[in-house]
Amino acid sequence: MNEPNAATFQLPEQMSTVAPEIDWLYYFIYWLSVVLFVAIVGAMIYFAIKYRERKGHKAEPTGHNLPLEIAWTVAPVFILVFLFHKGFEGYMNLSIAPANSMEIRVNAKQWSWEFVYPNGASSDKLHVPVHKPIKLVMASADVIHSFYAPALRVKRDVVPGMYTTVWFEATHVGKDDIACAEYCGGRSEGPNGTLPYQPSDDPDNPYPPGQMTGHWAMHSMVYVEAQEDFDKFMKSIGDPCESYASQGKACPGTIAAAQGLKLYSTKGCVACHTTTGAKLVGPSWKGIWAHGETTDKGRIVVDENYVRESILDPQAKVVAGYPPTMPTFRGQISDAEIDEIIALIKSLKDEGPAPAQQ
């Protein structure tokens, strides 16, 4: 393999747009370290041999060399500032997903991954189209997990009780392992863990189900596909739009948003919030998504975590101009239902059309 994105001895294949700059920095630090290490340890060993104790040799009393001491205190600062700067710059690229990203929901639990696509269908292996920014919005049902795809060079903890996000854009068709990088327990299967475990030779399914469950076996794959293959895959896992079509109904923008619209009535949100932009007791949901708002605790941006917090702990950050009167829904609404409310509010973005009323 001589392609520029092939695996090297130290690093896996490069499959994402951010990988080259991360790897460049990795190898920069590596060679910097090699030079410093050889200089320091080489000097130490050379001196220790050259000035070894022997007849007629005496240690020279230690003097002072202030310029030297200042030099080796100050010189590293320049290198460190450079590394900090490059690292932070790269980190910001990793943090801010492009606005045109395709959103995929990731549900992690002990010990499996579930990927929910915009059309509401889901799979246990992640399929993504090539050359398209993908934003994963992740939540955990139990303990902390961490989404790690080595060749994509992304990793982000998946924390229960909040949403975390990670984004990437794959540069070519291929596949990568998905691993859990935060310890989350595990056990051997069978009575008293006695079931003999045979590692599988299928690289895509290294842990046969029923034999092994745990942190290490929370393995999945990401398949990067050409757009038409991705569309085919979407169809194969059952595009819920087709079931709407078969009933002669219009397909809603997203299934989750349509569910959210039902909750909007049944949970009573409708009493204080509109979906049209009109003000009631609370702010309208129309056009509020991804908007900066002033609250009694300062500026915020309406995102997954803010909506979740406002449902479970409404007085935490109240949008300016509205009374702090909303009751908490803690214990009355499930995580899945919160997801659907979020999907509804997302669908009410200024530019997007509202889901069809049913």
Partner 1 sequence: MAAVDIPISGAHAADTHDDPDASYLKAGRGIGSWLTTLDHKRIGLMYLTMVCLAFFTGGIFALLIRLELFSRGRTIMDAETYNRFFTLHGAIMVFLFIIPSVPAALGNFFLPIMIGAKDVAFPRLNLFSYYIYLLGAAVALLSIIMGSVDTGWTFYTPYSVQTQNSVISMTLGAFILGFSSILTGLNFLVTVHTMRAPGCTWSRMPLFVWGMYATALIQVLATPVLAITLLLLCAERFFGIGIFDPKLGGDPVLFQHFFWFYSHPAVYIMIVPGMAITSELIATFSRRAIFGQFAIAMSSISLAVLGFLVWGHHLFAAGMSEYATMLFSALTFLVAIPSGVKVFNWTATIYKGSILWASPMLYAMAFIFLFTIGGLTGLFLGTLNVDIHLTDTYFVVAHFHYVMMGGTVIAFVGGLLYWWPKMTGKMHDEVKAKIGFVFVFVGFNTVFIPQFIMGSRGMPRRYYDYLPQYEIFHRISTVGSWILGTGLLITGYTLLEALWRGKRAPRNPWGSAGYEWMTDTPPCLANFHKTPVFTRGPYDYHLATPEELATGWDEVEQDGKKG
- Judged by beta carbon, residue 198 or residue 358, the one nearer partner 1 is 198
* Contact status: 105 vs partner 1 (CB under 8 A): no
Q: What angle do CA 177, 179, 184 make, to 5 degrees?
A: 165
Q: What is the rounded distance in angstroms from the CA atom of residue 222 to the CA atom of residue 202?
A: 15
- Judged by beta carbon, residue 187 or residue 249, the one nearer partner 1 is 187
Residues 147 and 158: beta-carbon distance below 8 Å: yes
Which one among 2, 100, 194, 358 touches partner 1, defined by CB under 8 A?
194
* Contact status: 316 vs partner 1 (CB under 8 A): no
- Judged by beta carbon, residue 117 or residue 223, the one nearer partner 1 is 223
Which one among 6, 131, 183, 332 touches partner 1, defined by CB under 8 A?
183
CB atoms within 10 A of CB 133: 17
Residues 335 and 141: beta-carbon distance below 8 Å: yes
* Contact status: 186 vs partner 1 (CB under 8 A): yes
Say whether the peptide bond before residue 111 is cis (omega within 30 degrees of 0).
Answer: yes
* Contact status: 326 vs partner 1 (CB under 8 A): no
* Contact status: 133 vs partner 1 (CB under 8 A): no
Interface positions, 243-272, toward partner 1 (CB under 8 A): none
Range in contact with partner 1 (rule: CB under 8 A) among 68-76, 116-124, 226-234, 295-303: 68-76
Tokens of 78: 């320049």
Which one among 5, 17, 20, 25 touches partner 1, defined by CB under 8 A?
25
Q: Taking CB under 8 A as the rule, which mask of x and - marks residues 140-179 in contact with partner 1? A: --xxx-x-x-xx-xxxxx-xxxx-x------------x-x
Judging by DSSP bridges, how do beta strands 220-225 and 126-129 pair with one another? Answer: parallel
Q: Which residues contact 259 (CB under 8 A, 6 or more apart)?
A: 340, 343
